[in-house]
Structure 1
Amino acid sequence: MRSLLYLVAIILIIGWALGFFVYSAGSLIHILLVIAIIAILLRLIGGKGI
């Protein structure tokens, strides 16, 4: 389950990066970035690390 969460976080970060350079999705991209960062922090706090 944790690896799936990490995979989703990476996908969200890639999506944010693509959207940031394309400027097509607006503020939705920044929401995705925040969700990805929260997912990574939860994984780090969980104790397993990256």
Structure 2
Amino acid sequence: METYTAMRHFADSWGLLAMALFFVGVVLFVLRPGAKRSAEQAAQIPLKEE
């Protein structure tokens, strides 16, 4: 039972912080300069005929 309590406290504190930092990182990655051109090129990959 003590292991469950320790893991629960870890997830409630550091796990939440890690998920929040990951979310902020993804948002910043998507909104970085030059992301639009890169996303448009990636979106055209399935439509290219070779």
- TM-score category by the smaller chain? 0.3 to 0.5
TM-score by length of 1: 0.42
Between 1 and 2, higher relative CO (CA 8 Å, sep ≥ 6) is seen in: 1
